Structure 1
Amino acid sequence: MARIRDLRNYLEKGIADRDRQYDWDNSGNQIVPDDREINKAAFALDPSEKVINKAIEEGCEVLITHHPLFFGSLKSLNFDKPFDRKIIKAIQNGLAVLSHHTSLDLADYSLNDHLCALLGGKVEETLVSEGRTEMVKFVVFVPVTHSQAVRETMAAAGAGNIGNYSDVSFSAEGTGRFKPCDGANPFIGTPGALEEVHEHRIETIIERSKITNLIKEVIKAHPYEEVAYDVYPVLGGAEYGLGRIASFEAAMPMSRFLDHVRFVLGADALRVNTSDLSGKVKRFAVVTGSGASLWKKCIGRTDVLVTGDLKHHEALDAREAGITVIDGGHFHTERIFMKYLAEQISKQFNIKSVLIDEEPPIINWR
């Protein structure tokens, strides 16, 4: 049975690295009353009072949201205040709240990748580069009899991923020497006698954020009482960033593309900064949530941006620069990922998931 800590580790180490979040953000633990077992998890875009009440009503032990509950400092709690009230209710009912915001926006498979996939576009590049993943080289010395088991353990812990390849490692044969001292309980050898063992030096690379878990798992799989290993910093690492640029195999008429976006998002309307829909869409950019300000990053790369939170002057300036900005709404462009996340976590931990219904904060009045 999965526990809160298992879910936290999976989210932070397997999906959204908290080290990637922006400085102003607060991804990760919001409320963690205890490390209870999880039978049912709730998912929503925002940790609103309505959402928290519904998660409690559904009997969920944890609520996972994209937008964090806390951004600023909190100096007191008063049940008369709506924001404070939902915090108190969550704590009283033992509901854990976990949020992954910009760490998820900057993940290897982000909200932007998911929207591109739903639209049927092939991701070609990142719109805005924000850095490179910090990598380390891990080296461990293993008796040949156990080298295969240790390699498999390393791969299962997330080591050896390079581009489109996994399970990447290198082995070299050699002789290991050691003398067990008094009090030792050696797997091979006798206390006080120098021992020589046919060993493999196995080396691989892994993200720095995953190295602690890798070491723990390797020690569990390794036969020796004391495991010899080295960790070295490595330059480079995969680029990560915000937004994606994707393309279709065949160009799509703009009017059809707009209908397609609206259908995929489940939105009742879109906002667009031009009335000229005579063009075709072959290549487009996506920035989910509030990304309209990034339209300048599209110049010379694509002339279509799907995003949210378009402002008056951004719309005008982008139009004059030849960039069509399609505003599907902050809510709609991000909400779709919560369904995907609910399905992934339900499969990973074999628990029930509840995607809580939410009303968009902004309604198009007709």
Structure 2
Amino acid sequence: MTLQASLIIKQFEEMSPKHYAFDWDNVGLQVGTLNKPVAKVMITLDVLENVVDEAIEKSVDLIIAHHPLLFTSLKQIDLETPKGRIIKKLIQYDIAVYAAHTNLDVAVGGVNDVMAELLHIQNVEPLIETEKDELIKLVVFVPEDYSEGLRNALSEAGAGHIGAYSHCTFQSAGQGTFKPLDGTNPFIGKQGAIERVDEHRVETIVPKTKLAKTLKAMKKAHPYEEVAYDLYPLVNEGESIGVGRVGRLSKEITLRELCEVVKEQYDVPALRYVGDPDQTIQTVALLGGSGEKYIHAAKEKEADVYITGDLTFHLAQDAEQMGLAVIDPGHHVEKVITSKLQRRLQKKCGTDVDFIVSNSQTEPFRFM
């Protein structure tokens, strides 16, 4: 069995929309085409030559990576260079590459949420808010006997979520009228005759980013060939979207103890830290990858510690001077997203396509 690559990526982009990416980033299709059938997808952090060789060996049709293969512009494709060899193999074996970078960092359930979840951080919010999702009020008129099925379909598509509550709707009873004209095929009534139907007015809220999916689910669950519905823009603030995460541990622990937890949960053999190992920690800020430029944001959020990779010497000194502990477990800890993505995409796409996680090593650093 196969699925079109474009349909797989459509499912993926519902979780991690491309417009979440920073302006300087290069996300989306990197090599190949999405207009082809796919039987096997590989999830990876990086697209290195050993990853591509693994994809060839395992008959992979599509690679979904976190780090873009093409990040800076290429002025030539020299097949004697590592990048050139990778591109040649991808084209030769018809393997498409798609990248989700900062959009997957920002997305709910993305890299930073998984990192926070592994440390059991509670009351999580963005470290730096970049935008708020706009909210839309959706009102649908449906025959009474079909209102429950419609409400469930809307909620499963992403509508009706308020805080930690799902399936949030309101309904009121009334009577709908309509007259089927020539060329119609009415579910209820006859052409040329005014029909009166006992209906429910079902109201819910929808994030703008999930509106298209919700409307599609609404039309599929509704019995009428022409669905009567209204959309109202709301002033209510939607979900915060942003860079990094900050939250609290359920209880205070020492910096030394947190370092051990980070090593275990992120599967790293060693890490660097700044601060007194015996100081108590409860508020934790984190950002996967290279996040040293946000140390001041972490301090402003009153974090006791900031977890991020690629910390440089002088910014480590700055953090120490301002009383902010820092844990640097490396850049490669973003690998925690790969197995999560594999399970989520497999669930979304079903058994028509096989999702696997790359086993190739892409961490360049070794420890002695």
Does the TM-score normalized on the shorter chain lie above 0.5? yes
Residue 60 (structure 1) shift: 1.6
Structure 1 residues 178-257: aligned runs within 5 Å: 178-235=178-235, 236-257=237-258
Q: Greater shift after overlay, 305-314 or 226-235?
A: 226-235
Question: Partner of 2:305 in structure 1?
Answer: 304
User: Which of 355, 358, 361 is the equivalent residue of 2:364?
Assistant: 361
Question: Partner of 1:267 in structure 2?
Answer: 268
User: Would you say the 8 A contact 2:173–2:198 is kept in 1?
Assistant: yes
Q: 1:220 to 1:76 in 2, by over 3 A?
A: farther
Residue 334 (structure 1) shift: 0.7
Listed one character per residue, the Cα deviations across residues 196-227 of structure 1 (whole Å, up to 9, x for unaligned) are 22222222111212222222222222222222
User: Would you say the 8 A contact 2:286–2:306 is kept in 1?
Assistant: yes
Cα distance in 1 between the residues matched to 2:346 and 2:188: 43
Cα distance in 1 between the residues matched to 2:355 and 2:104: 22
| One-letter amino acid of the structure 1 residue matched with residue 42 of structure 2 | A
| One-letter amino acid of the structure 1 residue matched with residue 10 of structure 2 | N
Q: 1:215 to 1:121 in 2, by over 3 A?
A: closer
* SS of equivalent residue, structure 2 residue 290: coil
Question: Partner of 2:93 in structure 1?
Answer: 93
User: Would you say the 8 A contact 2:270–2:329 is kept in 1?
Assistant: yes
Cα distance in 2 between the residues matched to 1:72 and 1:188: 59
Question: Partner of 2:45 in structure 1?
Answer: 45
| One-letter amino acid of the structure 1 residue matched with residue 182 of structure 2 | D
Residue 45 (structure 1) shift: 0.7
| One-letter amino acid of the structure 1 residue matched with residue 65 of structure 2 | T
User: Would you say the 8 A contact 2:129–2:243 is kept in 1?
Assistant: yes
Residue 11 (structure 1) shift: 1.4
Residue 285 (structure 1) shift: 1.4
The gaps in structure 2 that reach 5 residues or longer are: none
Question: Partner of 1:71 in structure 2?
Answer: 71
* SS of equivalent residue, structure 1 residue 250: strand
* SS of equivalent residue, structure 1 residue 289: strand
Q: 1:211 to 1:330 in 2, by over 3 A?
A: same
Cα distance in 2 between the residues matched to 1:60 and 1:267: 28
Question: Partner of 1:5 in structure 2?
Answer: 6
User: Would you say the 8 A contact 1:342–1:355 is kept in 2?
Assistant: no
| One-letter amino acid of the structure 2 residue matched with residue 359 of structure 1 | T
Does residue 111 (structure 1) correspond to residue 111 (structure 2)? The answer is: yes
| One-letter amino acid of the structure 1 residue matched with residue 109 of structure 2 | Y
Q: Greater shift after overlay, 31-40 or 290-299?
A: 31-40
User: Would you say the 8 A contact 2:128–2:243 is kept in 1?
Assistant: yes
Residue 122 (structure 1) shift: 2.3
Listed one character per residue, the Cα deviations across residues 122-169 of structure 1 (whole Å, up to 9, x for unaligned) are 244322111111222222221223222222221222211111111111
Listed one character per residue, the Cα deviations across residues 39-62 of structure 1 (whole Å, up to 9, x for unaligned) are 432121111222122112111222
| One-letter amino acid of the structure 1 residue matched with residue 303 of structure 2 | T
Q: 1:229 to 1:309 in 2, by over 3 A?
A: same
Question: Partner of 1:126 in structure 2?
Answer: 126
| One-letter amino acid of the structure 2 residue matched with residue 303 of structure 1 | D
Q: 1:36 to 1:363 in 2, by over 3 A?
A: same
Cα distance in 2 between the residues matched to 1:265 and 1:52: 24
Question: Partner of 1:144 in structure 2?
Answer: 144
* SS of equivalent residue, structure 1 residue 129: strand
User: Would you say the 8 A contact 2:307–2:328 is kept in 1?
Assistant: yes
Cα distance in 1 between the residues matched to 2:46 and 2:151: 41
User: What RMSD in Å do the two structures reach over aligned CA positions?
Assistant: 2.2
Q: Greater shift after overlay, 225-234 or 115-124?
A: 115-124
Structure 1 residues 315-334: aligned runs within 5 Å: 315-331=316-332, 333-334=333-334
Residue 113 (structure 1) shift: 2.1
| One-letter amino acid of the structure 1 residue matched with residue 325 of structure 2 | T
| One-letter amino acid of the structure 2 residue matched with residue 251 of structure 1 | E
| One-letter amino acid of the structure 1 residue matched with residue 87 of structure 2 | I
Q: Greater shift after overlay, 160-169 or 79-88?
A: 79-88
* SS of equivalent residue, structure 1 residue 22: coil
Question: Partner of 1:17 in structure 2?
Answer: 17
User: Would you say the 8 A contact 1:342–1:353 is kept in 2?
Assistant: yes
User: Would you say the 8 A contact 2:128–2:244 is kept in 1?
Assistant: yes
Q: 1:121 to 1:225 in 2, by over 3 A?
A: closer
Q: 1:135 to 1:84 in 2, by over 3 A?
A: farther
Cα distance in 1 between the residues matched to 2:44 and 2:202: 43
Cα distance in 1 between the residues matched to 2:218 and 2:120: 40
Residue 78 (structure 1) shift: 4.4
User: Would you say the 8 A contact 1:12–1:28 is kept in 2?
Assistant: no
Residue 74 (structure 1) shift: 5.2
* SS of equivalent residue, structure 2 residue 225: coil
Residue 291 (structure 1) shift: 0.8
* SS of equivalent residue, structure 2 residue 262: helix
